[in-house]
């Protein structure tokens, strides 16, 4: 049995004292030096315990004054997004032409402006990534670039990276042949290649709703139509509703994000994953699985993927290192099952190759070890920051606000009171130097006009807290 680290034991003891009222909001707690002497623990232990309590929102540091107990809300947390059913989705039955790329591009350009509080960013906090080590590997590789073969860039990808990816899947319970993998420029290219391999312009593609806009971009780019299937905030796509639609409409493929879907954050139950794959087998329907957040789970075990249940090669599994290791190198991959040869050919025709240097740098990092340790640190940070974000959204936003309960990843889906225009909130927030992602960009139609998505991957700060207060005030004004 694992032993709880001493700093966590000390942090839990102090948290219990605060909970019991021994230490009250606004009171100063012992300095690091004094606490070290009183409790007979090292200064390092106290510092780490205080940092942990600060990340949980229990205490706060004030420059040159010390640590103080934070004010805690009296009201219990408000309920999360309610579970939905097919009856909640009337008249969502027809496939739709997709035209969201211009809105998404305009939104992303402003979301990434320097100096803004990036609550609307789609990207994880780069400060969490081992960028320095990766840069060292990449630099060393670049200095010896003359030793590389000109053919190393060609699909399917660098052999050692293919082997390391297959090894990672094996460690998580899925046996993968390295030869099945095709390296791509991020997961976005993998999704586009897979969709291009299984469907044609004019075809109908089933998607979750809401769904990650990159899925909609792929459908729009290839001139296809989106059929939005009701999706539950806790269980994922309604497989029964999908089956009903397949009886009356030809569906060329289904695109889903079963683990920690962006923006809802759910983990689809294993039984539903298997049910979806069996439905696909029955109708010989390809399923494109976006798995970019699968490494960012909060539970005790790595989640299964649709690929675990795939017997006929119908699951085209797509992932990348952009959300878990580095977004700078844009290294993704596809495991396209029976469509592998077609995806490799399309990769060659579309972008010819993926640069070798970043592939080799990531492969070397994985070879040297430390990836799992890095992931554990990131998962802990995201889980703590999820709780902080949910807590303060429900505290600062008006009555009628509901939030998701992400089981992994780093984004929160927020339902605002009816009548609040999320696009207007986006514009007003931007004027204050704060970005939010409006719900409009997560569907082919404007059915999420009073929803926003928030990013909680960045370290919690007073700036973040103040930004949420301001956005909450704007929501209250718009609701009124």
How many other CB atoms are found less than 10 A from the CB of residue 9? 14
In CATH, 6-69 is 1.10.10.10: yes
- Residue 228 DSSP class: E
- Per-residue pLDDT in tens (0 to 9) along the chain, 480 residues: 457 788 888 888 888 878 767 677 888 888 888 888 878 889 889 888 888 888 777 888 887 788 888 876 554 455 577 666 555 655 456 777 767 777 777 777 776 667 789 999 999 999 999 999 998 888 888 777 655 555 567 899 999 999 999 999 998 889 999 999 999 999 999 999 999 999 999 999 999 999 999 999 999 999 999 999 999 999 999 999 999 999 999 999 999 999 999 999 999 999 999 999 999 999 999 999 999 999 999 988 999 999 999 999 999 999 999 999 998 899 999 999 999 999 999 999 988 888 888 999 999 999 998 899 999 999 999 999 999 999 999 999 999 999 999 999 999 999 999 999 999 999 999 999 999 999 999 998 888 999 999 999 999 899 999 999 999 999 999 998
Residues 23 and 63 sit within 8 Å (Cβ to Cβ): no
Residue linked to tokens 């789970």: 297
Q: Supply the CATH classification number for the domain 99-128+373-479.
A: 3.90.1150.10
How many other CB atoms are found less than 10 A from the CB of residue 43? 12
Residues 408 and 265 sit within 8 Å (Cβ to Cβ): yes
CB proximity list for 337: less than 8 A, separation 6 or greater: 180, 310, 312, 313, 314, 315, 316, 317
Q: Enumerate the domain spans of the chain.
A: 6-69, 99-128+373-479, 131-371
Backbone φ and ψ for 438, nearest 5 degrees, come out as -70, 145
The C-alpha atoms of residue 87 and residue 156 are separated, in whole angstroms, by: 45
CATH of 131-371, one of 3.90.1150.10, 3.40.640.10, 3.40.1380.20, 3.40.50.720: 3.40.640.10
Residues 170 and 176 sit within 8 Å (Cβ to Cβ): yes
DSSP string, 344-401: HHHHHHHHS---HHHHHHHHHHHHHS-HHHHHHHHHHHHHHHHHHHHHHHHHHSPTT-
Residues 31 and 65 sit within 8 Å (Cβ to Cβ): no
The SS3 of residue 38 is helix
Residues 315 and 289 sit within 8 Å (Cβ to Cβ): yes
Residues 289 and 318 sit within 8 Å (Cβ to Cβ): yes
CB proximity list for 130: less than 8 A, separation 6 or greater: 325, 326, 365, 370, 374
């Amino acid at each position: 049995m694992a032993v709880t680290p001493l700093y966590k034991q000390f942090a839990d003891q102090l948290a219990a004292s605060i909970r019991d009222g021994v230490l009250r909001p606004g009171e100063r707690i012992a300095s690091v030096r004094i606490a070290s002497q009183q409790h007979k623990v090292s200064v390092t232990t106290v510092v780490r315990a205080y940092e942990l309590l600060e990340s949980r929102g229990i205490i706060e540091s004030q420059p040159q004054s010390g640590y103080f107990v934070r004010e805690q809300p009296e009201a219990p947390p408000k309920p999360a997004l309610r579970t939905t059913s097919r009856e909640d989705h009337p008249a969502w039955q027809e496939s739709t032409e997709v035209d969201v790329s211009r809105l998404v591009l305009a939104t992303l350009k402003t979301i990434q402006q320097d100096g803004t509080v990036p609550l609307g960013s789609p990207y994880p906090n780069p400060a969490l990534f081992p960028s320095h080590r990766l840069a060292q590997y990449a630099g060393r590789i670049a200095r010896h670039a003359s030793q590389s073969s000109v053919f190393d860039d060609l699909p399917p990808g660098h052999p050692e990276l293919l082997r390391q990816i297959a090894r990672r899947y094996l460690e998580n319970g899925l046996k993968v042949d390295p030869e099945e993998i095709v390296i791509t420029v991020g997961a976005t290219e993998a999704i586009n290649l897979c969709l291009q391999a299984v469907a044609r312009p004019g075809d109908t593609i089933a998607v979750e709703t809401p769904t990650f806009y990159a899925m909609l971009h792929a459908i729009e780019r290839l001139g296809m139509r989106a059929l939005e299937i009701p999706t539950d905030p806790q269980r994922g796509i309604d497989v029964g509703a999908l089956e009903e639609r397949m009886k009356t409409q030809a569906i060329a493929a289904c695109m889903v994000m079963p683990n920690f879907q962006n923006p809802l954050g759910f983990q689809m139950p294993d039984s539903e994953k298997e049910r979806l794959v069996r439905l696909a087998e029955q109708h010989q329907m390809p399923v494109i699985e976006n798995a970019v957040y699968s490494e960012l789970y909060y539970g005790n075990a790595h989640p299964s993927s649709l690929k675990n249940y795939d017997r006929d090669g119908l699951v085209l599994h797509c992932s990348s290192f952009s959300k878990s290791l580095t977004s700078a190198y844009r290294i993704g991959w596809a495991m396209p099952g029976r469509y592998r040869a077609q995806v490799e050919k399309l990769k060659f025709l579309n972008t010819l190759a993926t640069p070798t240097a970043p592939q080799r740098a990531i492969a070397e990092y994985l070879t040297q070890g430390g990836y799992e340790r890095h992931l554990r640190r990131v998962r802990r940070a995201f889980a703590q920051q999820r709780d902080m974000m949910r807590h303060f959204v429900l505290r600062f936003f008006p009555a009628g606000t509901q939030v998701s309960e992400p089981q992994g990843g780093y984004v929160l889906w927020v339902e605002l009171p009816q009548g609040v225009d999320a696009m207007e909130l986006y514009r007003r927030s931007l004027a204050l130097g704060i970005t939010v992602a409006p719900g409009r960009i997560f569907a082919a139609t404007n059915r999420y006009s009073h929803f926003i998505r928030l990013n909680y991957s960045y370290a919690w700060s007073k700036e973040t807290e103040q930004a949420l207060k301001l956005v909450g005030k704007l929501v209250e004004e718009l609701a009124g």
